Amino acid sequence: MSHTRTQNPSHVPALESLGPVTAEEARLLEKLDLTRLPRHVAVIMDGNGRWAQKRHLPRIAGHRSGTQSARTTIETCARLKIEALTLYAFSVENWRRPKTEIDFLMQLLREYLRKEMPLIQKHAIRMRFLGRMDELPAGVQKDVQEAMEKTAGNKGMVLCIALNYGGRAEIVDALNAILVERNGSGPSSPITEEQLARHLYTEGLPDPDLLIRTSGEMRVSNFLLWQIAYAEIFVTETLWPDFNRARLLEALVEFQKRERRYGGLGEGEPSDEKPARVAGE
Ligand code: FPP
């Protein structure tokens, strides 16, 4: 299904808000229906190390270069009015890396939060952090807290940085939070999906409908395990530092080609009987 600018006038403001575009970006934008964008995009930013290795640079040069891709992705999603963007910055497994690399990543994040705050505020982005914050170095915790406070009143896109994040840890944390809440409150009823979702780090956010992973690995790596139940997964060979605006638009175009069925039948698919349950569940 193709929509052009002239067919759908609602495209115009969002297109203009992207500013000057390259010929490749313009071609991709022609294919994109800006009224059917994902509500929540989640990204596994992978391949910084390989990007550096290919250039005979230290791994940290790859991470530094990756911050530019993060900036482009954040700004483009905000301009396209996507509701939420989640970036996987540091997993619970990443503590197994050399101390020098961990220290660099923590420092880079602190620097990033300071440097990018004007951009975050310009787009009225609200920042959230997903993960076990209490296990992070004190300085990082302070900066994280500050970034959340400074942007708490913003009404634009929600930007979640997954930091010291693990999908299994998140589910365990949610169950423990439910236990604490129920403590001493008499006989307990079974835990429901809705109740568990309310205790996840992502509480209040729509589930990601698009999960992007760079650098070609076909894994979900303990990322948003509960929330990606129905997400479309887009894996690109592009290494994270090379993930530019055109590559992001390409992922969005690909998302729109997929038919989302949530376990039901596709539109127009022959069905022998009426669905057992009402749509929208
Ligand atoms: C994976 O590359 C990337 C990370 C460990 C995440 C760090 C991401 C950044 C520094 C981007 C900037 C983002 C923010 C929000 C500051 P890798 O080292 O696993 O690459 P490899 O698989 O090629 O070794």
* pLDDT 10s digits, 151-174: 999 999 999 999 999 999 999 999
Q: Give the domains, in start order, of the chain with CATH numbers.
A: 36-166+207-257 (3.40.1180.10)
Q: How many Cβ atoms are within 10 Å of 200's Cβ, its own excluded?
A: 20
Q: pTM of the predicted model, to two decimals?
A: 0.90
For the cut 70, the answer to whether the pLDDT of residue 6 exceeds it is: no
Check whether 8 has a pLDDT greater than 50: no
> In three state form, how does the secondary structure of 27-75 look?
HHHHHCCCCCCCCEEEEECCCHHHHHHHCCCCHHHHHHHHHHHHHHHHH
Element (H, E) at 159: strand 158-165
What is the pLDDT confidence band of residue 9, given thresholds at 50, 70 and 90? very low
Residue given tokens 């949610």 in the structure block: 174
Q: Is the CB of 147 under 6 A from ligand 1?
A: no
| Nearest CA among 162, 170, 164, 177 for reference residue 137 | 164
Q: Compute, in angstroms, the gap from residue 59 CA to the centroid of ligand 1.
A: 9
Residues 6+ apart with CB under 8 A from 119: 71, 74, 75
Q: pLDDT value at position 186?
A: 64
Average pLDDT, the chain: 91
Amino acid 187: pLDDT: 65
212 three-state secondary structure: strand
The answer to whether residue 244 is catalytic is no
Confidence of residue 10 (pLDDT cuts 50, 70, 90): very low
At 7, is the pLDDT very low, low, confident or very high (cuts 50, 70, 90)?
very low
**Centre of ligand 1 from the C-alpha of residue 219, in Å:** 15
- Ligand 1 pocket test: which of 44, 48, 102, 120 has the largest number of ligand atoms within 8 Å of its C-beta? 48
| Percent of the chain as helix, strand, coil, to the nearest 5 | 45, 10, 40
* Pocket lining: 108 vs ligand 1, CB cutoff 6 Å: yes
Residue nearest to atom 6 of ligand 1 (CA): 89
pLDDT tens figures, 123-156: 999 999 999 999 999 999 999 999 999 999 999 9
pLDDT of residue 275: 56
Q: Convert the pLDDT of each residue in 49-95 to its tens digit.
A: 999 999 999 999 999 999 999 999 999 999 999 999 999 999 999 99
Regarding the beta carbon of 165 and ligand 1, being less than 6 Å apart is answered no
Q: Which two tokens stand for residue 221?
A: 């790596």
Strands across the sheet containing 158-165: 126-130, 158-165, 84-91, 40-44, 210-213, 232-235
CA distance 239 to 61: 13
Which ranges of 86-166 does DSSP label H, i.e. alpha helix? 99-122, 138-151
Closest among 30, 78, 69, 75 to 51, alpha carbons compared? 69
Does 38 sit in the ligand 1 pocket, CB within 6 Å?
Answer: no
Active site residue 46: yes
Residue 210 has pLDDT above 80, yes or no: yes
Among residues 21, 36, 114, the alpha carbon closest in space to that of 72 is found at 21
Catalytic residue among 8, 33, 46, 143: 46
CA distance 249 to 160: 20
